[in-house]
Chains A and B, each alone.
Chain A
Amino acid sequence: MLLVLIDTDEDGVPGPGTDDLLAVAHGTGLPVHAVVIGTVPDGLPAECVHRIRHDLLSGYAPEAYGESLAQLVTRAGPAGLLAAATERGDEVLAQAAARAGVPLATRCVALRPGDPWSLTRLRSGGVLLEDAELSAPVAFATVAPGAAAGAETPAATGTPEIVDFTPELDPALARTRVVERVPRAEGVSLATAPVVVSGGRGVGSAEGYAVLEELADLLGGAVGCSRVATNNGWRPHRDQVGLTGTRIAPDLYIACGISGATQHWVGCMNARTILAINTDPEAPMVTRSTYAVVGDLHEVLPALVDALRARVRGSGHAPPAGVSARSET
């Protein structure tokens, strides 16, 4: 039996990566039991739901969550414990693994039970795959969002039985616990924008991004950037696309003056279409993109913005719906 941690928000809505997690868990062929800390979502494809309840678990608390999971593993005796490889999933499973004294394989895309388990995991943000073997009394692993892309999400086959579990938690664990939550401001977020207009070293200055913002506005999208732009203080870090920035999968990614180093590429490689604007026809961003314009972005972008503005005026239509993604630098 596999225990699968389903992370939910306050309303019991499963977090990102849950479908991939469930698909990979069911793909092992082992019976799947869900673990939920909080409200149990409807329609979980699991034989049984272990609902962990304790006063210290009323808000997100990495140590108390990890300790609870380690205790549940001792109680339920599963073959493995899985979670989505989100920041939270990786953190909680690392806490649980450290407490259970077992290894942890993060960011897996395939898992095959056995002795040892064999698995494939993402490295370097996904530009490399690592085939590995996990030897452990219980296999602890996190599943990369997107791991089961294309596979069907397993359907629920009835209402799972709910079993309550109350861990014994030292009140000292309350020291790592969310004490305040600040909801995100409205607007197109980089992570979910359908179009991202991104600029790198080629933009040359903070002011240079004005035309990228204008283009993003016209396309109902958000502005992104490479690490060179954040390091130079041209853009805030939350705009950074890549390994240590945000990983995005927009319908269209327009990369202006970005070379396409691996650490940037992993952030945008899941875009459906990529348009590169670059003076260098040999730049990896150009050779890997769907479409390219070879040229100076300082010439191409203003001309493009003019053409789009003229079109909007000509048609009498407003630009596509979408809020300005102007960033308050």
Chain B
Amino acid sequence: MSTADDPARRDVLVCVKRTPAVGARITLTEDRMAIDTRHLGFTVGPHEECAVEAAVRIAEEHRAGGGTARVTVLTVGPPDAAEQLRYTLAMGADDGVLVEVPTEELAPEPTAASITAAVRAAADGGTRYDLLLFGTDSAVAGNAQAGIRVARALGLPMVTGIKGMEIDGEGVVLHRETPGGNEVYRVPLPAAVGVKEGINLPRYPTIKGRMRARKAELRTVPGRTEPGGLRTVGLRCPREDRPETVVLGTGAAAVPAVVEKLTELGVL
């Protein structure tokens, strides 16, 4: 089951989020409403980067078996998020869709509505996704719900926190780690999955991949921008009340002081 007119075809949609690559300290904008990103690089969220890798592997395997496959990566974000889409194309995705909104941080409800609309538009165009992949939660906002809202709107099953995934004839087998051990789910396709970092080791884009991605045409569609039910009043850094660092020494000469400290702390 897949794209309406070609049952041997597999279509995977991966939703990724542009994430500021903050360093050791976070600076806020003057109005304290956002992270100051003027001097920061951006990246694809790590869970989502693994989701892209998972999708590319599924497509490769399907093609190796004689089928056709397509991986579409979608991001809801500002125009600059095109950079992150190109990165995923360089990793091996086939198409990029930028659902454009004027902000870095959109509330989960409009994000989900934007993605849902894009999936429905694709269906109207004859593309039915077998699998929708999301990161389990985004790195900065950590709302952990956009994917579930999309799945609910589309009537798809969804499991999050997934660190293992295999597609077989009957659907997809999903593995999740819990404090007590591992859980296994077996979900029919089409389905949505919230992926976690650790499911795979994402590949580094090749030079060829980067060249291809640079020239690739991205599709841009407008996103939804209505506010969600949660309104940010302001961000702040929690107070850090750590005492001044005590330097125990330099190099191997510090070892006796370390041993003494470990004894004092009761770990020896």
User: Which of A's residues lie within 8 Å of B, judged by CB?
Assistant: 9, 15-16, 60, 62-63, 87-88, 90-91, 94-95, 97-99, 102-107, 116, 118, 122-136, 175-184, 191, 194-195, 219-221, 227, 230-231, 233, 236-238, 240, 243-245, 251-252, 259-263, 265, 273, 275-276, 281, 284, 286-296, 299-300, 303-304, 307-308, 311, 320
Contacts and interface: CB of A to CB of B under 8 A. Distances in A.
Contacts of A195: 267
A143 to B, nearest CB: 14
B26 A128 contact: yes
A134 B230 contact: yes
A286 B185 contact: no
A243 B139 CA distance: 7
Given A181-B182, A281-B247, 11 more contacts: A9-B180, A90-B160, A91-B144, A98-B112, A106-B142, A124-B22, A176-B158, A182-B183, A183-B180, A295-B251, A304-B255
Given A175-B188, A262-B26, A292-B245, A63 B158 contact: yes
Contacts of B112: 98
Interface stretch (B72-80, B208-216, B231-239): B231-239
Contacts of A293: 247-251, 254, 258
Contact of A98 (B152, B183, B229, B265): B152
Nearest to B239: A129
Contacts of A233: 201
Given A60-B183, A124-B22, A90 B144 contact: yes
B238 to A, nearest CB: 5
Interface string B150-191: 011100011111010000000000000111111111111000
B95 to A, nearest CB: 26
Contacts of B182: 181-182, 184
Interface in B19-69: 22-26, 35, 46-47
B250 A179 contact: no
10 contacts: A103-B229, A135-B231, A191-B179, A219-B267, A240-B198, A244-B46, A245-B197, A262-B23, A263-B22, A263-B139
B255 A106 contact: no
B207 interface: no
The interface residues of chain A, by DSSP majority, are classed as: mixed
Which 10 A/B pairs are nearest by Cβ-Cβ distance? A103-B229, A237-B198, A284-B24, A98-B152, A295-B251, A94-B145, A180-B184, A303-B252, A183-B181, A94-B148
A84 to B, nearest CB: 12
Contacts of A281: 247
A210 to B, nearest CB: 18
A103 B109 contact: yes
Given A91-B144, A176-B185, A262 B235 contact: no
B242 to A, nearest CB: 6
A174 B237 CA distance: 43
A288 B268 contact: no
B157 to A, nearest CB: 4
B123 interface: no
A176 B265 contact: no
Contacts of A103: 107-109, 228-230
A251 B238 CA distance: 21
Contacts of A181: 180-184
Contacts of A304: 255, 258-259
B149 interface: yes
Contacts of B140: 123-124
A248 to B, nearest CB: 13
A45 B7 CA distance: 55
B236 A129 contact: yes
A308 B268 contact: yes
A259 B201 CA distance: 22
B149 A124 contact: no
B4 interface: no
B221 interface: no
A98 B145 contact: yes
Given A127-B237, A132-B233, A291-B261, A182 B184 contact: yes
A296 B255 contact: no
A132 B23 contact: no
A231 B197 CA distance: 10
Contacts of B261: 275, 291
A295 B252 contact: yes
B144 A106 contact: yes
A307 B259 contact: yes
A87 B185 contact: no
Nearest to A119: B230
B256 interface: yes
A87 B268 contact: no
Contact of A91 (B148, B188, B232, B256): B148
A299 B252 contact: yes
Contacts of A230: 198, 201
Given A124-B142, A287-B245, A295-B252, A131 B25 contact: no
B145 A300 contact: no
